[in-house]
Chain A
Amino acid sequence: MTYITNGSSKMIATRIRSLSMEQIGRFLLPAISISGGLLLWHVCSLMTSPLFLPSPLMVWNAAVEMALDGSLAASVWASGTRIFAGWAAGVALGVPLGLFMGRFRTVRMLVDPYIEFFRFIPPIAFVTLAVIWLGPGELTKIALIFYTTIFIVTLNTIAGVESVNPLRLQAARSLGANQRQEMTSIILPSTVPFMVTGARIAMGNSFLTVVSAEIVSAQQGLGATIWTARNFARTDWVFVGIIALGCLGFLFDRIFRIVTQKTLKRFL
C-alpha cells in the first residue's frame, strides 16, 4: 500500500515537472527563435545599405513614427476592415452555396462549370477589371476578397456535405426527418468542421488579395503603405507594412480560432 502511494506520488511529481517544463518551453522556445531571427537580421543589415536592408532598430523607429502620426493605425484599420467585410460576406454566401451544391445534384451541375473554371483564376487577375467595373472605392477591394473567400469556403463545404455519413441520414429519415430537417439537423452540423477549415484558409488568402488590391488602387491600407514607400525610398516603411500584415493575420487567426472553439465546440 505504501509502495503504491510512493509510486503514484512520484508519478504525479514527474508529471508536474514535465508539465511546467512544457509550459516554459511554450514561451521560451518561440522567444529564443524570435530574438535569434532579429539578431541575424541585424547582423545582415550591418553588411549592406539601409535602402537595401534596414536594421530592426530603424524599422522599429519607423514603426513608432508611423504609429505616432496615426498612419499605421489607419492602414491597419483600412486593411483589417476590408478583409473582414469581404471574408465575412464570402463565408456567409459560400456556406449555403456549398450546402446546396453538395446536397442537390442539379444545383451542383448548374454551378460546377463556373466553379471549376474560376477556381484557377487568382483574384489578382481581376484587380484591373474590378477597378473598371466597381470604381476605385472600397467596394472593389471587398469584392476581390469576397471572391477569394467564397471559392474556398464553397469547395470545402461541398466536400463536407459529401462526407456526411450516409447511415446518419438513413437514421434521421427513419426517425422522421423530412428533407429540410435532414439539411438543418444532420448535414449542417456534420459539415461545420469543413466550413471552419475553409473559412480559416480563406482568411489567409484574403491577406494575399488585400495587398495586391491595395497596391493597384488604394490610398490607405497596408498594401498601399508598402507601395507608396517605394516613392520615398523608405525600405523601412515596407518592413513595417510587412510586419504589420503578419501580426494582423496572426491576430485574426487567433480570434477566429478562439471564437469557433467557444461557439462551435460540439461540432468540431
Chain B
Amino acid sequence: MGNGASITLSQVGISFGVAQIVSGFSLDIRPGEFICLLGPSGCGKSTLLNAIAGFLPVTGTMTVAGKPVVGPGIDRGVVFQSSEVLFPWLTIRQNVEYGLRLRGVPSQVRRQKADHYIGLVGLSHAAERFPAQLSGGMRQRAQIARVLINEPAVVLMDEPFGALDAQTREVLQEELDRIWRATGCTIVFVTHDIWEAVLLADRVVVMTAGPAAGIKSVKEVGLSHPRDQADPAALEIFRQLRDEIGAEVTRALAQQGLSSRKEAAE
C-alpha cells in the first residue's frame, strides 16, 4: 500500500487573469495527514485544491513528496463533488478499472484490484451496474474506489459529500475515516461543513475570505477516533472554528460594504 506523501506549499499564489484568488499561502502537510480546508464560500478552497491536483498554474513553490507539481498525476487522486465525473457509459467496475486500463495492466490483475477496492467502499453488489442506476452516495463511493485503485499518495477531495443527504453523509464520513486508515494516504479535504472538519481532520486550516485568500488559522484537532458530536472537547473545537469563520465572514461583508460604498461615492 502506497504510504502518504508530504505536501509543501510555500508562498503559493493563484490568479485568474487579474483576479488574485489565493496569495501567500504556506502550509506543510505531513505524510499520511488528514487536512481539512475550511472557509467562507468562495474563499478559494477548491481553487487551492485544483492547484494541488495540477489543474491550475501557481506562483510560489508547491511540492508533493518533495517533487514540484507540474500538471495532474496519478500520485494525486481527485474526488469531485459532482458524481457526473463518473463515466456514464462504463459500469462501476469499468469505471474503477479505468486508471489501470490506461496503463495497460492485464485484465486479471485489473479485476482482482477492482474487486478489492469496490469491496473496500462497500459496492460489491453494484459492480456491474451503471452510474445512472446508483444513488448519489453510492456514486461517491464509486468515485473514491476509482481514485484509490491508482494507490495515490495523496487524495484530494472537493466537498465530496456536499450533495448528499445528512444520513448518507454521516455514514460516508465514518467510512472515509476507515478507508483513510486502511490506505495511509494523505488527504486534503475541502468542506464548508464545520462538523465534517471536526469529525475527520487531524488539522483544520481556516482560510480567510477572498480575494487573495490566505490562512487565518490552523487548528490541531487531536481527538481520538471515532469522534462524536456530543463529545464536549469536539464541541469546543467546533465553537472555536465557527467563531473564527463567523468573524471572517463578518469582516468580508464589512469590506464588501465598504468597497461598494466607496464605489457609490465615486
Contacts and interface: CB of A to CB of B under 8 A. Distances in A.
Size class of the contact patch on chain B = 20 to 34
B146 A189 contact: no
A175 B130 contact: no
B78 A174 contact: yes
Given A165-B84, A167-B84, A177 B102 contact: yes
B102 A175 contact: yes
* Chain A interface category by residue count: 10 to 19
Given A174-B72, A175-B98, A167 B80 contact: yes
B136 to A, nearest CB: 16
A266 B130 contact: yes
A73 to B, nearest CB: 40
Contacts of B72: 170, 173-174
Contact of B99 (A168, A175, A267): A175
B76 A174 contact: yes
A31 B74 CA distance: 60
B63 interface: no
B102 A165 contact: no
B179 to A, nearest CB: 18
Contacts of A189: 87, 89
Interface string A234-268: 00000000000000000000000000000000110
Given A173-B72, A174-B73, A266-B130, A168 B102 contact: no
A167 B82 contact: yes
A185 B102 contact: yes
Contacts of A171: 78, 80, 85
Chain A CB count within 10 A is highest, among B53, B74, B98, B130, for B98
A189 B76 CA distance: 25
B180 interface: no
Contact of B146 (A175, A181, A192, A266): A175
A168 B73 CA distance: 15
B21 interface: no
Contacts of A30: none
Nearest to A165: B84
Contacts of A192: 89
Interface string A168-205: 10111111111001000110010010000000000000
Interface of A: 165, 167-168, 170-178, 181, 185-186, 189, 192, 266-267
Interface of B: 53-55, 71-74, 76-78, 80, 82, 84-85, 87-90, 98-99, 102-103, 130, 146-147, 150
Given A167-B84, A267-B89, 6 more contacts: A170-B78, A171-B85, A172-B98, A175-B102, A175-B150, A176-B73
9 contacts: A170-B78, A170-B85, A171-B85, A174-B77, A175-B102, A181-B102, A192-B89, A266-B89, A266-B130
Q: Which 3 A-B pairs have the closest CB atoms?
A: A171-B85, A174-B72, A175-B99
